[in-house]
Structures are given as C-alpha cells and as structure tokens.
Amino acid sequence: MLQLIYYPDPVLQKRAEPIDHIDEDTKKLTSEMFEVMYENKGIGLAAPQVGILKRVVTVDISGSEKRNSPLVLINPEIIKQEGEEESEEGCLSLPGFKCKIKRSSLIHVKYTDLEGQEKTLDARDMLAICLQHEIDHLNGKLIIDYAGRLRRSMYEKKLKKMKKKRR
C-alpha cells in the first residue's frame, strides 16, 4: 500500500517524469492513489505525494464521502489559462498548513486517460484550483512555495516541534 510523503521530503520538490505507455502497473498505481486520497480525506493527489516520480494525478472534487467524480490525468498539461481568483489551499503533504494562492479561474488541460486516449478538459472553480495544485506537485512546486519566508519558517518550526513530541 502506498504511503503519503510529507514535507520536507525532497521527493516532493522534484519534477515527475512523463509516462510513456499505460500498463497494469499504471492502473494499479492510480487505484492505490485513490485509496490514499480518500483515506486522507483529500480531493486530489499527485504521484510524487506517494513517492512515485511519474506524471499522474487523481482527483475527485466530490470528496471522500461521495466519491462520485473520480478523474485520472496522465501527463496533464495546462494549455490555456484565463482569469484569476484567490482561495485558501491546504495539502495532504503539508498537514496543518494553509495559505491563500492566486490561481487561474478557468484552465484548459490536455491529458491522457487510463485507456491511453488523449483528451482535453475545461475546468473552472474548485476543479481548476485542484488541477493547478496537483500539476504544481508534478513540477516539484508546493503550496508552501507560495508563502512568504516568515510563514514558511513558522511552519518548519512547528514541524520540528511535532517531530520532537513523537520521539
């Protein structure tokens, strides 16, 4: 079973590699990613968050209770962006950290599905925000990278205290 990777693990800051062909291992990976995402009450998960440096994203903005909008994007790429909105984001790999981030309000994404079909998707609102967040993960960028030095430093001190308590 896959495990979530937490900041400051260096794998989270590495660029993921494209997937050349979709096989049973890819399908198994996405299935396990959905399990981890739902178990941790997330709406999106990128493969680097489970230690796999591949360009794979699972998303379900209906949430871990409903689970009725699962979406797998392989090698996703934002090809068009419009507008701007600010929202507060959290991340499964950064427990207890939230920050406001400005993102495009409408995006056009090109990706491959699990059947190997190239597709496009227009996303807005929560789906657009979620996809931008997860694609950032594929590029080694985290929400903490959007925060100022002071917020980042405070979070890192909080993590050190939490680690000392666990020992």
Catalytic residue from among 39, 65, 89, 134: 134
Clarify whether 134 is annotated catalytic: yes
**What tokens were used for 126?**
């929560």
Question: Residues with catalytic annotation?
Answer: 134
